[in-house]
Amino acid sequence: MKRLLFITVISIITVYMIYSVEKLNRGLIAMQSEKTAVYIGWRLSFSDPEGTTFTLSKSAEIAPKEEKIIYKGPLTNFIDKNIADNEIIIYKLKTFVNEQQSGNEETFKIKTGKVPKPYIDIPLSGNYTFQQITLADLDNDSEFEYIIKQPNYNVDPYQKEGYWKKSETTYKI
């Protein structure tokens, strides 16, 4: 009886995990990796069938109608080694399943010309720092939101002098 109950519980948990996966977009991102190159990457979805391919195109903001396909295939990243200094590039990603377009088209705009950094800055509005950060799709729009906990000190009531500090304001998420 215990074994049957155990198998039933595991089955329910497995079904829940399969159907509770967040429905996220491709997460298209572009960042300048060198003075003359831009790295473009996107997500492969858990539910993508075999035969999923992508088409990546680019255009300059000053001439958006002059769109040029720069990649076609199954990979989820590409390095564009043909960029000009100090221009705004619009990358457009389309997903295809068995040569039929599937899902929404995604775009990402990047301005070239700065000294490349190996990360993307996300400025915080306000004069504060944070202690913890996590990602989740809170509003079901297929994009991750950043959830930041501030202020940046402990709130756990640990029984050690100086460990726990009462917040002067309410904690914010």
Q: Tokens 């089955």, residue?
A: 11
Which spans in the chain are helix H? 2-19
Beta strand spans in 5-162 (E)? 29-34, 37-41, 52-60, 63-73, 77-80, 88-97, 100-111, 132-136, 145-149
User: Where are the domains positioned within the chain?
Assistant: 1-121, 122-165
Which pLDDT belongs to residue 36? 84
> Which fold is adopted by the domain 1-121?
Immunoglobulin-like (2.60.40)
What residues contact residue 32 under an 8 Å CB cut-off, 6+ apart? 38, 39, 83, 110, 112, 114, 116
Q: Which of 25 and 171 is assigned the larger pLDDT?
A: 25
Residue 20 pLDDT exceeds 60: no
* Average confidence score pLDDT of the chain: 80
Which pLDDT belongs to residue 141? 85
Q: Is 117 exposed, middle or buried (0-12, 13-18, 19+ CB in 10 A)?
A: exposed
Residue 106 pLDDT exceeds 90: yes
Q: Tell me how far apart the alpha carbons of residues 53 and 50 are, in angstroms, rounded to a whole number.
A: 9
Per-residue pLDDT reduced to its tens digit, 124-169: 777 777 777 888 888 888 888 888 877 666 655 555 666 666 666 6
Residue 68 pLDDT exceeds 90: yes
Q: Tokens 């726990």, residue?
A: 164
Q: Which two tokens stand for residue 141?
A: 């729009």
Q: Shortest CA distance to 144 belongs to which of 152, 154, 134, 153? A: 134
Q: What value, to the nearest 5°, has the Cα angle with vertex 129 and ends 123 and 132?
A: 100
Q: How confident is the model at residue 40 (pLDDT cuts 50, 70, 90)?
A: very high
Which pLDDT belongs to residue 55? 96
Which pLDDT belongs to residue 56? 96
Stated pTM of the model: 0.69
- Percent of the chain scoring above 90 in pLDDT: 29
